[in-house]
Amino acid sequence: MRKPLIAANWKMYKTPAESTAFIDTFLPLVASQQKTEIVLCPPMICLAASIVATKGTPVHIGAQTMDYHDNGAYTGETSPLMLKALGVTHVLIGHSERRQYFNETDETVNLKLKAALAHNLVPIVCVGEHLAEREAGHTNDVLNRQTAAALAGIDPAIAAPIVFAYEPVWAIGTGRTATPQIAEEAHKVIRAQIAKSLNPALAASTRILYGGSVKPDNAASLCCLEDIDGALVGGASLDPNSFAQIIINAAL
Ligand code: PGA
């Protein structure tokens, strides 16, 4: 019932020419992977080239962040209107690096989520605890708070496109992956909070991705679990062979 989604988060890597070269190599490798929704999230400056390179293919292009205003005096920002006009279909919201380095808060995540829905962009909302929070036994509180805050005031009637990504901060870029059991438990907590904030039917249909050091050799054990509907991949998505192998292994 929930279509698997695997997204690449390239962070601040690759030029437009490098994005095109990646896509040219990558597309034939995943041509037979039609059961998985595949999304590439390149840097803003690579979005246009990536959209051209994936035209006519099932591979979607997403942004790594956006502003929540339609337009205005917000130097350096990119609006949902602009992303939509370019052909972007998905957007990451509240990635932990945005929360940590760029003042993203639960409140701005909520505003961006509403803006994405208003402009028909598929939002991928990232939540996850820091190591100290996990060690202090606060993981569930953090996940409940971030999920509830993201969904505050959202009309369940328009919430179907929302995707969540559980990204434990201690697993991002560290090579330290959550065990399938830790991930599955966290996904259940997030799903239960979606049921509370929206309704049980939406909780059952909402896709929740796992992110944090996903690699070709751990993709299958993570993605096969009941509550894990795909992956958000950073480092291992920069190489077309490695990212394609993750998609292939997760679908096994
Ligand atoms: P990683 O990053 O796969 O390099 O751990 C994941 C992410 O930040 O989305």
User: Does residue 232's CB lie within 6 angstroms of at least one atom of ligand 1?
Assistant: yes
pLDDT > 90 fraction of the chain, expressed in percent and rounded: 95
Per-residue pLDDT tens for 188-209?
A: 999 999 999 999 999 999 999 9
Tokens of 166: 């559980």
User: Does residue 234's CB lie within 6 angstroms of at least one atom of ligand 1?
Assistant: yes
Q: How far is CA 27 from the centre of its chain?
A: 20
User: Does residue 213's CB lie within 6 angstroms of at least one atom of ligand 1?
Assistant: yes
From ligand 1's centre to the CA of 43, what distance in Å? Answer: 15
The answer to whether residues 17 and 42 touch, using CB atoms and an 8 Å cutoff, is no
pTM for the structure as a whole: 0.97
Task: Identify the pLDDT of residue 243.
Answer: 98
Per-residue pLDDT tens for 40-96?
A: 999 999 999 999 999 999 999 999 999 999 999 999 999 999 999 999 999 999 999
Residue found by looking up tokens 């989604």 in the block: 5
Task: Identify the pLDDT of residue 63.
Answer: 98
Residue found by looking up tokens 């997204």 in the block: 7
**Average pLDDT score, the chain:** 96
From ligand 1's centre to the CA of 42, what distance in Å? Answer: 13
**Any catalytic annotation for residue 167?**
yes
Show Cβ contacts of residue 189 under 8 Å, excluding neighbours closer than 6 positions. Answer: 139, 140, 143, 144
Mean pLDDT of 208-226: 93
CA angle 147, 94, 100 (to 5 degrees): 115
CA–CA distance, 247 with 60 (Å, rounded to integer): 14
User: Active-site residue among 37, 60, 90, 95?
Assistant: 95
Mean pLDDT of 207-225: 94
User: Does residue 211's CB lie within 6 angstroms of at least one atom of ligand 1?
Assistant: yes
DSSP β-bridge partners for residue 106: none
Residue found by looking up tokens 């993709």 in the block: 219
Task: Identify the pLDDT of residue 174.
Answer: 87
Q: How confident is the model at residue 121 (pLDDT cuts 50, 70, 90)?
A: very high
Task: Identify the pLDDT of residue 96.
Answer: 97
- Give pairs for 108-112: CB < 8 Å, separation 24+: 108/68, 109/146, 109/149, 109/150, 110/149, 110/150, 110/151, 110/152, 110/153, 110/154, 111/68, 112/65, 112/66, 112/67, 112/68
User: Active-site residue among 37, 119, 167, 187?
Assistant: 167
Mean pLDDT of 147-174: 96
